[in-house]
Amino acid sequence: AWVSEADAELAQPPVWEAGVLPEAKYQAFRHDLPLGSFHPGHRAKWSTHELCHGLVGFAWRADASPLFHATAGRLAELVPVVLWYFLDEVGLRRCPRHAGPLFRTHCPACERAAALGPAPMESARAEELLAEAARFVDRELAAVARTRRLQIPCPHVWGSIDLCSDGVAYAASHGLRLTSDAMHTFAELFLTRPGDGFQTELDAVEERALAVLAAIAEGAPLTPWTGGRARWVAWDLGQRLLQVSEEVDGSVRDALVGLAARLAEGEAPAAVADAYATLAEDAPLPQPEELLALGYAVQGLPGRSVDQVHEGLRTVCPLLCELEEDAGSSLIERFVEEDRWERVPLGDRFAAWLERAYPGPAAWLARFEASLRTAGGEPEVEVLAEGEVGSRWVEGTRRLRFPADVPTWAEAIERGEVTPEARDGALVLPAPGGPPTALVVGRDRVGELVIADVPAELPEAWVDDARLLGDLLPALAELGLVAPERYRG
Ligand SMILES: [Zn+2]
Ligand SMILES: [Zn+2]
Ligand SMILES: [Zn+2]
């Protein structure tokens, strides 16, 4: 409803692909919704970035111009960006090939290194980063001041960062939403005390941003927003109800606004959710399971949408999902209940959960299918490793061991030759035959899947340590599945 025709593709809901639900820039993110998203494909740094957004808040007012929205978005982005590129880099452990912040590249080795805890503090480097941060802030705020004085957007560009154009892009994708009736109603109901969680003046956002910066960089005290979690949950649910209210008329619309008002008055989300479910029984409204699945646990609400997770799993473990549906098991419901909050792709998380909850054929199939779709490679290996024998696994390769011939069995499943059964909600599959199998799955430079069999009788440790493959290394190097620790210089 709020997407201009020029941005038509943003109006399409994102589509699952190989177990990944992509999040387009400025599609899902809202400055006015202080909830950290948890996209398992995001880097860990994203959490602190979004926490920082919550601390800074945003600016909105009823008579705001598009340039106001653009500049408000720009100011709200300042400290989260400074945190990402400068402050977070202080004492951050990285892989040997990366010394500083990454722009677009995602480096799994850096993620693993950072998970080991902070690096020893190098004070000279820390001071340099703090000075760079201060310089960035000064230049950005000078450009914002110029923008406001001249009433034309004045950029400040650093690397690939341009908060001015980001702000304009935000105003473009969110303009219709930010000026909608629903947003006005939201403000009337929830945005009642400027300076607490939101601002109505650009100067006030700038001041708050600098206070957050001082708190992070210098440990200065910061006044927290009032209300805590319950307040942000009410905002989230309230925005959902009001968004739906834009699509309906008359008494249903009034009823939805009434439900949002009850949240604003402090009524428990569960009671409002019940009232919504009753309303949706006789009105053309989204299913309660869909609208009320906020994605995190709230008493009396569905939390995460089983249907949405199921839809995602169909794109990464299609055979297993088909068997699961044929048998009518409740596997997916159980998975959603027990799924862990990890930055691991959906298919791999599902396979790992099956391995814990129901070790056996279903888990093998899920692991096999997920690996075929999520395996990756390092495009540069084929170029740089010419003729060299590798000694380490290429990033993104999957190393699999099964007590039976799972690849051949998967083909039989595809032909419809395997009959599944549900027992106590669990999925029971007849055990596959064939000898134990071991394989490595990767992807070559042009993105083609590469699968290599390795002898199943090798000691299990080969899965982590490629060197145990000995004589097989040249053939695997040829396929781009293993690489040298160092390339010839
Ligand atoms: Zn941001
Ligand atoms: Zn790295
Ligand atoms: Zn110019």
pLDDT tens track for 145-181: 999 999 999 999 998 899 999 999 999 999 999 999 9
Q: What does the pLDDT look like over 271-314, one tens digit per residue?
A: 999 999 999 999 999 999 889 998 888 999 988 888 889 999 99
Question: 379 C-alpha vs ligand 1 centroid, how far in Å?
Answer: 29
Question: Which-ligand-closest: CA of 45?
Answer: 1
pLDDT score, position 25? 58
Whole-number mean pLDDT of the chain? 90
pLDDT score, position 235? 96
Burial class (CB in 10 A: 0-12, 13-18, 19+), 292: buried
Q: How confident is the model at residue 95 (pLDDT cuts 50, 70, 90)?
A: confident
Question: 97 C-alpha vs ligand 2 centroid, how far in Å?
Answer: 6
Question: 153 C-alpha vs ligand 3 centroid, how far in Å?
Answer: 10
Question: Mean pLDDT lowest for which of 24-33, 97-106, 375-384, 387-396?
Answer: 24-33
Q: What does the pLDDT look like over 221-260, one tens digit per residue?
A: 999 999 889 999 999 999 999 999 999 999 999 999 999 9
Helix (H/G/I), strand (E/B), else coil: 248: coil
Q: What is the 3-state secondary structure (H, E, C) of 309-346?
A: HHHHHHCCCHHHHHHHHHHCCCHHHHHHHHCCCCCCCH
**Cβ–Cβ under 8 Å, residues 77 and 29:** no
Q: Give the C-alpha distances (Å, rounded to integers) separating 285 from 28, 221, 288, 311, 360.
A: 21, 45, 8, 21, 42
Closest CA to 178 of 260, 242, 101: 242
Question: 419 C-alpha vs ligand 3 centroid, how far in Å?
Answer: 68
pLDDT at 9 over 60: no
pLDDT at 6 over 80: no
Question: 84 C-alpha vs ligand 1 centroid, how far in Å?
Answer: 9
Count other C-beta atoms under 10 Å from residue 118's C-beta.
10
In the predicted model, what is the mean pLDDT of residues 318-341? Answer: 92
Q: What does the pLDDT look like over 172-208, one tens digit per residue?
A: 999 999 999 999 999 999 999 999 999 999 999 999 9
Closest CA to 483 of 378, 402, 404, 403: 378
Question: Which-ligand-closest: CA of 156?
Answer: 3
Q: Where are the domains of the chain?
A: 5-291, 306-483
Question: 135 C-alpha vs ligand 1 centroid, how far in Å?
Answer: 19
* Cα 135 → chain centroid: 30
Between 40 and 241, the higher pLDDT residue:
241
pLDDT score, position 11? 59
pLDDT at 103 over 90: no
pLDDT score, position 488? 81
Question: 98 C-alpha vs ligand 2 centroid, how far in Å?
Answer: 5
pLDDT at 4 over 60: no
User: Number of helices and strands (H, E) in the chain?
Assistant: 20, 9
Question: 102 C-alpha vs ligand 2 centroid, how far in Å?
Answer: 8
Question: Which-ligand-closest: CA of 76?
Answer: 1
Question: Which-ligand-closest: CA of 95?
Answer: 2
Question: Which-ligand-closest: CA of 29?
Answer: 1
Question: 373 C-alpha vs ligand 1 centroid, how far in Å?
Answer: 30
Helix (H/G/I), strand (E/B), else coil: 393: strand
Closest CA to 482 of 408, 392, 354: 392
Q: How confident is the model at residue 23 (pLDDT cuts 50, 70, 90)?
A: low
Question: 108 C-alpha vs ligand 2 centroid, how far in Å?
Answer: 7
pLDDT score, position 1? 54
Rounded CA gap, 69 and 65, in Å? 7
Please calculate the CA angle 415-449-109 and round it to the nearest 5 degrees: 130
pLDDT at 464 over 90: yes
- For the record, the structure tokens of 324 come out as 């699961």
Question: 31 C-alpha vs ligand 1 centroid, how far in Å?
Answer: 8
Closest CA to 370 of 318, 297, 295: 318
Report which DSSP code applies to 464. T
pLDDT score, position 64? 97
Question: 52 C-alpha vs ligand 1 centroid, how far in Å?
Answer: 8
Q: What does the pLDDT look like over 409-454, one tens digit per residue?
A: 999 999 999 999 999 888 999 999 999 999 999 998 888 999 999 9
